[in-house]
Amino acid sequence: MTTSTSHGLQIESLTLAPMPVVRVTARGTLTHDDYVAFMPQLDAAFAEQTGDRLRLLFDARELQGWELRAALDDFKVVMSHGRQVERMALVTNARWIELLSNIGKLLLAGEMRHFHNRSEAEAWISA
Residue 50 pLDDT class (50, 70, 90 cuts):
low
Return the pLDDT at 49.
Answer: 73
Question: What does residue 16 show for φ and ψ, rounded to 5 degrees?
Answer: -105, -15
Range(s) of the domain holding residue 9 = 2-125
Q: What pTM does this model have?
A: 0.87
Please count the structural domains in the chain. Answer: 1
Residue 5 pLDDT class (50, 70, 90 cuts):
very low
Average pLDDT across the chain, whole number: 88
CB-side neighbour CA atoms (13 Å) of 26: 21
CB 64 within 8 A of CB 88: no
Residues 17-38: what's their mean pLDDT?
90
* CATH number for the domain that contains residue 113: 3.40.50.10600
pLDDT tens figures, 82-110: 888 999 999 999 999 999 898 888 888 89
Residues 55-81: what's their mean pLDDT?
93
Return the pLDDT at 6.
Answer: 65
Question: What does residue 89 show for φ and ψ, rounded to 5 degrees?
Answer: -105, 125
Question: What does residue 2 show for φ and ψ, rounded to 5 degrees?
Answer: -125, 105
